[in-house]
Structure 1
Amino acid sequence: MSRPTFQRRIGGAMTALVTPFRDGIFDGVDMMAHIEWQLLSGIDGLLVCSLTGEGPTLTEAERIRAIEICIELSDDKVPVIVATGTNDTATTIEETIQAQRLGADAAFVTVPYYSKPTQNGVIHHFEQLAARTELPIIVHNQPSHTAIDLTPATVARLAEIRGIVGIADGSGDVSRLDLWRSLLPERFGLYTSNDACALAFTAAGGNGCFSGASNIVPRLFHSMQHSAICGNISASRSIDERLQPLLGALARESEPTTVKYALSLVRDIEADMRLPLVGVADETAAAIRAAITPFQLDGSGRFASRHAYRLGL
């Protein structure tokens, strides 16, 4: 698949998939059911093995199987993007080549974390990666996790590297969008990975979002993003207002833990986590339960999942 073709396909609401576990073991059956529900709900893309999917804790065999399941079930209906970034350039290259071999549509590559490279080091990291793979690359800028933020000059330089097709920004700073757009070619995609500003980012000219919360409410995220893209800001704001209490509750702790707990309330997915992540605190659980209540059919504390599509979840 050529890079220009891929670039026309990506946008809207894309789910950063959780990875289901049962008793600590990767659950491929639950993952298949979850992906099928996402696709039925109209989601625009699938991101697998990201931080939301606890990618760093997956074994190589689990990682391969998770990617294979996504590609098999998507059946080219939506793009499958694989998170391949690490804090080691050589390992990142290996993971990206593997994703390409398995049939992924793009790689989602974090700015290297922990080692805190300079801006020049970041550029060299992505130059080496792009030189070794034909897979389109989306750079993930997440300062809260990497301890560094891309400067405008670095953003402009990354856009010149053949193979880099977009940046997903998790900073939550929508104001940078105007500056970045002025530095980038028209073909370049700009996305957010911050659910709280998913609407604001798209309304300001972004191309869509990679969302953890859309694991729980995929149809609402799809409707919100596409309303904004079509210029129906009133409709998209109405959906955003409906979602904000849930997004606030999910933000109380790290995303994988809160998203999985919420899914355990509305879907047949366990809240199992792998260390160092643990289950949510009682106060967070109560906040999530309260925020989920408006999306439930009854007051039982669980959602009858067979009605999820009809209700817009």
Structure 2
Amino acid sequence: MFTGSIVALITPMNEHGQIDYETLKSLVDWHLECGTNAIVAMGTTAESCTLTQSEHISVVKTIAEQVAGKVPVIAGNGLNSTQQSIELTQALDQLPIDGFLTVTPYYNKPTQKGLQLHFEAIANSTVKPILLYNVPGRTACDLLPETVAALSHIDNIVGIKEATGDKSRVSQLQSLINTPFTLLSGDDETALEFTKLGGHGVISVTANVMPAEMAAIYQSALNGDFSQAEALNEKLERLHNALFIEPNPVPVKWALKKLNRIPSDQVRLPLLKMESSHQTIVIEAMESAQVI
């Protein structure tokens, strides 16, 4: 169900930091036109940490209703409190979504056993499928392959977004998991190699800027045409890097404004708009990718 090029969609805002719902709908329509395989609503790229719970739910609702079942919608539901994650999951579960993306708890640095019990409790609060989300660079918490393997026996834990950038995780997970389990990269720079090693696609930041191209790369890769996928991906390599020259989603919002896809590149504190000194780097990467 969750394969290919999956966009981690931004949350567009006006210059006052209020959510721009009309632009959000237009972004959804653009992704549907461009062949994006699924949409993550309220992941890291959506600035989920700085939205209120009511805003979080409202954004997911808007995306799900605009998608109208055309592609899967995966809602971010992970917080560093197990109970609050359960409550958010139950609220989102009332919406027409297809599954959840559940990040490891951040800041409180649980043990592997604590992580296992955390995810088990959240999984028990819904029947919808759950993708685990491992991004230790942001959470100071690494969900190890052995723990993932233990969690894979829970019926509705169906896969993982592995955002370590460590391609060896593919073979580690494959050797430990003996049930069908979706392996998605969360790192655009290494995602194609991850897929070549047996992964099933990417949850992508770059897809915000080049959705049709990312869809074509991962359609080719999943069809086994890696030479075509590599040729398509080569021109995006500088962009994959440039979109992380400042904390995500600062550069990707700037790039989308440059493309006139959003009217404002506003982010919420503690993030700031991109430094002018970095703009040339992003522009050159966009030119290299032939998006401008």
Q: TM-score interval w.r.t. the shorter chain?
A: over 0.9
Q: How does 1:301-312 map to 2 (within 5 A)?
A: none
CA deviation profile, 1:183-239 (whole Å, cap 9, x unmatched): 113421110111111111111110111001100000111011111111111111111
State the partner residue of 1:286.
280
Q: In terms of mean alpha carbon deviation, does 70-79 or 43-52 score higher?
A: 70-79
Cα drift, residue 165 of structure 1: 0.6
State the partner residue of 2:5.
13
State the alpha-carbon separation in 1 of the partners of residues 280 and 221 from structure 2: 31
Cα drift, residue 82 of structure 1: 0.4
Normalised to the residue count of structure 2, the TM-score between the two structures is 0.96
| SS of equivalent residue, structure 2 residue 178 | coil
How many residues align? The count is 290
| SS of equivalent residue, structure 2 residue 159 | strand
Query: Letter of the aligned partner of 1:232 in structure 2?
Result: D
Matched, 1:271 2:272: no
- Alpha-carbon RMSD: 1.3
State the alpha-carbon separation in 2 of the partners of residues 268 and 180 from structure 1: 38
Matched, 1:229 2:231: no
Cα drift, residue 157 of structure 1: 0.7
Pick the aligned partner of 1:102 from 87, 95, 109: 95
State the alpha-carbon separation in 1 of the partners of residues 23 and 66 from structure 2: 13
Cα drift, residue 282 of structure 1: 2.0
CA deviation profile, 1:290-313 (whole Å, cap 9, x unmatched): 11124568xxxxx5xxxxxxxxxx
Pick the aligned partner of 2:213 from 209, 212, 220: 220
Q: How does 1:1-313 map to 2 (within 5 A)?
A: 9-23=1-15, 24-269=17-262, 270-294=264-288
Q: Unpaired runs of 5+ in structure 2?
A: none
Cα drift, residue 66 of structure 1: 1.2
Normalised to the residue count of structure 1, the TM-score between the two structures is 0.90
Q: In terms of mean alpha carbon deviation, does 279-288 or 36-45 score higher?
A: 279-288
| SS of equivalent residue, structure 2 residue 189 | helix
State the alpha-carbon separation in 2 of the partners of residues 88 and 182 from structure 1: 31
Whether the 8 Å CA contact 2:191–2:201 is kept in 1: the answer is yes
State the alpha-carbon separation in 2 of the partners of residues 233 and 135 from structure 1: 32
State the alpha-carbon separation in 2 of the partners of residues 272 and 21 from structure 1: 6
CA deviation profile, 1:230-265 (whole Å, cap 9, x unmatched): 111111111111000111211211121011011111
State the partner residue of 1:3.
none
Whether the 8 Å CA contact 2:65–2:96 is kept in 1: the answer is no
Whether the 8 Å CA contact 1:107–1:138 is kept in 2: the answer is yes
Cα drift, residue 57 of structure 1: 1.3
CA deviation profile, 1:88-108 (whole Å, cap 9, x unmatched): 000100111111111211110
State the alpha-carbon separation in 2 of the partners of residues 13 and 268 from structure 1: 19
State the alpha-carbon separation in 2 of the partners of residues 252 and 56 from structure 1: 20
| SS of equivalent residue, structure 2 residue 147 | helix
| SS of equivalent residue, structure 1 residue 132 | coil
Whether the 8 Å CA contact 2:5–2:215 is kept in 1: the answer is yes
State the alpha-carbon separation in 2 of the partners of residues 236 and 165 from structure 1: 26
Cα drift, residue 145 of structure 1: 1.1
Query: Letter of the aligned partner of 1:274 in structure 2?
Result: R
State the alpha-carbon separation in 1 of the partners of residues 39 and 244 from structure 2: 21
| SS of equivalent residue, structure 1 residue 289 | helix
State the alpha-carbon separation in 1 of the partners of residues 231 and 277 from structure 2: 28
Q: Which has the higher helix share?
A: 1
State the alpha-carbon separation in 2 of the partners of residues 160 and 238 from structure 1: 38
State the alpha-carbon separation in 1 of the partners of residues 100 and 269 from structure 2: 25
Sequence identity of aligned pairs in percent? Answer: 36
State the alpha-carbon separation in 1 of the partners of residues 117 and 54 from structure 2: 30
